[in-house]
Amino acid sequence: MAKHTLIAYVEDVPGVLNRVASLFRRRNFNIDSLTVGRTEQSGVSRMTVVVDATEAGARIVEANLYKLVNVLRVDDLTDKLALMRELGLVKVKVTPKNRGEVLQLVEVFRGRVVDVDEQAIVIEITGTPEKIDKFETVLRSYGIVEFVRTGALAMARGTELTSAAPPLVRTESTHDHHDSGVSMSV
């Protein structure tokens, strides 16, 4: 088993996240993280899915993603030169004694302090998922109050696109909804 990073371009239509999530649940694929966001192209969302799977398993995940009607394109970045980034927010307990120590660690990890309180500070950190894992481990002994991370985003290095440009998508309907004379209940 290894971590595979899949990029799925999907049509930005209601329920598409549910379709992908449902696929992973019913096929018993193990999602490590899943992020969704808009892309440079209107009507297209980009999902970064990290799955724990064998090579054969990853191919089956890919084929199943392709089978979803709203999925435009799938790419496996695992063996490509790619950037992986994740954002984490950590709220950690501090005392006047160890505050300096913690701030030093933040410095080492190139994090940013975004909120300071008498007993806690909030740190913003970006980097590879491994770096954020490590940061969490290092801070644990001080007492982590809250810890949240976005899940990985990925992009191929260099001038090449991560994927060939996804195909054109449907234009959205502009029909306005009128309420007149229509019953909303059965």
Partner 1 sequence: MKLTGAEIIWECLQKEGVDVVFGYPGGAILPAYDAMTKYPKIHHVLVRHEQGATHMADGYARASGKVGVAIATSGPGATNMVTGIATAMMDSSPIVCITGQVGSKAIGTDAFQETDVTGVTLPVTKHNYLVTKPDEIARAIREAFYIAKSGRPGPVLVDITKDAQQLTAEFDWEAAAPRLPGYRPSYHAPASEYARAAELINSAKRPLILAGQGILKSGTTAEVLKLAKTADIPITTTLLGIGAIPASSELNLGMMGMHGEAWVNQAIQQADLLIALGMRFDDRVTGNLKTYATNAKKIHVDIDPTEINKNVPVDVALIGDLREVLALIQPQVKKAEHPEWWATINVNRGDSSVRDIKNLPDNGHLYAAHVINDIWRLTQNRDTIVVTDVGQHQMWEAQYFHHDKPRSLITSGGLGTMGFALPAAIGAKFACPKKDVWVVVGDGGFQMTSCELATAEQEGIKVNVAIINNSFLGMVRQWQEFFYDKRYAATPMTGPNFVKLAEAYRLTGLLCDKRPDVKATVEKTLATKGTVVVDFVVEKEDTVFPMVPAGAALDAMIRRPKQDVMLESGSDKDWEMPSSALPSVFAEAKAEAAALNGHVKSKKPSAKAARPAARKSAKTARR
Q: Which residues bind partner 1 (CB under 8 A)?
A: 10-11, 14-15, 18-19, 22, 26, 56, 59-60, 63-64, 66-73, 166-170, 173, 175, 177-179, 181-186
Dist CA 19 CA 65 (whole Å): 9
Q: Which is nearer to partner 1, 68 or 122 (CB)?
A: 68
Cα 177–17–12 angle (5° rounding)? 50
Q: Which is nearer to partner 1, 148 or 186 (CB)?
A: 186
- For the CB of residue 116, give the shortest distance to partner 1 in the complex, in Å: 41
- For the CB of residue 110, give the shortest distance to partner 1 in the complex, in Å: 39
- For the CB of residue 63, give the shortest distance to partner 1 in the complex, in Å: 4
Counting Cβ atoms within 10 Å, is residue 161 exposed (0-12), middle (13-18) or buried (19+)?
exposed
Dist CA 71 CA 8 (whole Å): 7
Coil, helix or strand at residue 11: strand
- For the CB of residue 15, give the shortest distance to partner 1 in the complex, in Å: 7
Q: Nearest Cα to 121, choosing from 104, 150, 152?
A: 104
Q: Which is nearer to partner 1, 37 or 167 (CB)?
A: 167
Dist CA 99 CA 107 (whole Å): 12
Q: Which is nearer to partner 1, 27 or 112 (CB)?
A: 27
Q: Which is nearer to partner 1, 65 or 102 (CB)?
A: 65
Dist CA 34 CA 127 (whole Å): 16
- For the CB of residue 22, give the shortest distance to partner 1 in the complex, in Å: 5
